[in-house]
Homo-oligomer: A and B are copies of this chain.
Amino acid sequence: MGKSAVVGVGLSKFGKREDASLRELAAEAVYESFQDARDIEPGDVEAVIVASSQPERLVVQSHVAPLICEYLGVKPSKGAFRVESACSSGGVALRMADIMIRSGEASKVLVVGVEKMTEAPRSEVMTTLSIVGDKDWESIHGITAPAGFALAAQRHMLEYGTKEEHLGLVAVKNHANAELNPKAMFRRRITLNEYKDSPPIAKPLKLLDCSPICDGASCVILTDAEDARKYNDTPVVVKSITQTTIGNSSTTVDDLTTWKPLVEAASRAYSLAGISPKQVDVAEVHDCFTIAEIIEYEDLGFCGKGYGGRFVEEGQSAIGGEVAVNTSGGLKAKGHPIGATGIAQVVEITLQLRGEAGKRQVSGADIGLTHNLGGFAVNHVVGIYGRMT
């Protein structure tokens, strides 16, 4: 069976986008991807997969995949649909597009991620975030996302001696990267002191540990790898995309500091791609909260278990380090428009592997990894990408 390849990428500006509706945000990303790919027009698109987590509540609109198609003038003969997997919706959409291409079902698939989170009243946004968890049995008792990840942080501190400063250094690094990314929401550096002085959210997490509520859209055009050079001089090959799910509530995670479904998804992704973690040059990982990035260094095999804090402290995850992590600014500083996130990660990896990441370029990047998480560390998607040789 063949492979798929990325031949076009696009990203809207992330942030509070009062100037653009959901469909306009999507179009901003899609048009950029059509500019990026050569000789692909809206009429050539065979299938469209849209990742969006809660447009029904956030912008009071359902059936958004056909809605976006109509706005773009795309009439996909092999269909359009939406996938929802909370914060990992984008990763799942890419995975299904890759499977559609490898199965021969379609040869040109548009994958669009979009979320408009700042239009609804704040109370409605809080509802959408809290009902990702089990409303009847968990979030109603207060285990919302910040609380759940705070528990993981407390346990990681207890077991491995991870410190407040380690969490802060993740935020400092990702803000520094975002300063170099024109599409990022927060294009400004922060200091460790600013981090320490930021207001508490759920102990030990502070405001600057948390990714923001944000509007944005992302787009990737996938084709058969065999045909990819027709559409782009520097296509990026999808080496593997895997997903593992264990449940929804935090009680299904039997270890707060080692996320077994992530270890499993990563292990299979490395095996299918035929690489080891040490070969990854650049990675976009799911830093919804800073502690998540630290645990992900470990569970993705970038460092040993418990060494995540030291990994960031030593600069190993900075541009120029062992593996450059979240060069885009990550969810923390680029922004986290939920459905757009997993696809935006692939946009960044594609730019890095092509050598087109500007001031944040990782020199000689050959292999890139993405990690997209849904719910409380229960649902993980891992992708591995490489330059076409």
Q: Which residues of A contact B (CB under 8 A)?
A: 1, 21, 48, 53-54, 56-57, 60-63, 65-67, 69-70, 75-86, 89, 92, 95-96, 99-100, 102-105, 127-128, 131-136, 242-249, 252, 261, 264, 374-375, 378-379, 381
Contacts and interface: CB of A to CB of B under 8 A. Distances in A.
Q: State the copy count for this chain.
A: 2
Contact of A248 (B66, B100, B248, B375): B66
Contact of A132 (B63, B105, B135): B63
A78 B240 CA distance: 13
Nearest to A79: B243
A61 B140 CA distance: 11
Contacts of A48: 245
A246 B78 CA distance: 10
Nearest to A135: B61
B245 A75 contact: yes
Contacts of A247: 66-67, 69-70, 75
A375 B75 contact: no
A69 B378 CA distance: 11
A243 to B, nearest CB: 3
A86 B79 CA distance: 13
A105 B247 CA distance: 20
A56 B63 CA distance: 13
Q: Which among A127, A131, A249, A264 has the highest number of chain B CB atoms within 10 Å?
A: A131
A244 B381 contact: no
A175 to B, nearest CB: 29
16 contacts: A21-B136, A56-B57, A63-B84, A63-B86, A63-B248, A66-B246, A75-B247, A78-B242, A78-B244, A79-B95, A79-B379, A81-B83, A82-B84, A83-B83, A84-B84, A96-B96
